[in-house]
Amino acid sequence: MQALILVDIQQDFLPGGALAVPNGDSIIPAVNELIADYPLVIATQDWHPVNHMSFAVNHHGRKPFEVIEWKGMQQTLWPVHCVQNSPGAEFSPLLQTDKVEAIFRKGTDPDIDSYSGFFDNGHLKSTGLAGYLREKGVDEVALAGLAGDICVFYTAMDALEQGFRATIIRKAVQPLNEKDFETRMQQFLARGGRVLA
C-alpha cells in the first residue's frame, strides 16, 4: 500500500513567503493531481515557536543562511518562518487538503530543528510518522513538496532508513538550491530511492 507525503507546502515556502522556494507555487497543480491517485495522503507542517534556534534573529549578530555550530551539530540559520499559528505556517490555499488524513508537525521544540517528517535533525525524537504508516499497512511512500533539497530530501532518506520504498516525484518538488538538490538526489538514488519525472 502506497502513501503520498506532502512536505511543507506552506505559505512561507511559496513566492512572497519568508523563505520562498523559487517557483514553489509551480508544483501545486501537479500535487493536486497526485492526491487523487493515492489511497492515503498525509502532510508535514513546519511549525516553529518564535524563539526557535533555527532563526538567525535568535542568535546575536548572525544573519540568515549563515551556518553555526549548535549543540555539536552544524545548523543553517534561516529567516523567521512557519511560526506557529501565523499565516506563513498555513498550507497554500490552492492545495487540495480534503484528502489529507493526518498532519505531522515538526520543529516545535525551540532547541531542535527538524527537516525530516520522521525525526529531528539529531535523530533524537521521532514524530511517530513511521509507526503511523506501518499501522496503516504502508510499505511505499511517494514524496512531493518543498523544499526539494531540504525537507523533502531528509524525509525521503528517513523513509528508506525506516524500511519503506520511497519515490520522489520530480514534477511535484522544487528546491531552494538547484545544485544541492542534484547532489542530494544522487545520494537518495544511491540509497535505493527512486526519482520519478
Residues identified as active-site: 8, 106, 151
Q: Does 158 bind Zn ion (CB under 5 A)?
A: no
Give the integer Cα–Cα distance in Å for 24 and 141: 21
Longest CA–CA separation in the chain, Å:
49
Positive/negative CA dihedral, 29, 143, 4, 76: negative
Q: How far apart are CB 54 and Zn ion at their closest, in Å?
A: 6
| Site residue total, ligand VGL (CB under 6 A) | 9
Nearest residue (CB) to Zn ion, 154 versus 188: 154
Nearer to ligand VGL, 39 or 87 (CB): 87
Candidates 3, 77, 147, 168; binder of ligand VGL (CB under 6 A) is: 147
Which residue is at the shortest CB distance from Zn ion?
46
**Degrees, nearest 5: CA angle 25-31-35:** 150
CA distances from 2 to 27, 134, 193 (A): 20, 11, 15
Inter-residue contact 92 to 25 (CB < 8 Å)? yes
Interface pattern 65-94 for ligand VGL (x via CB under 6 A): -------------x----------------
Q: Which residues in this chain contact ligand VGL in the complex, by CB under 6 A? A: 8, 13, 46, 78, 115, 146-147, 150-151
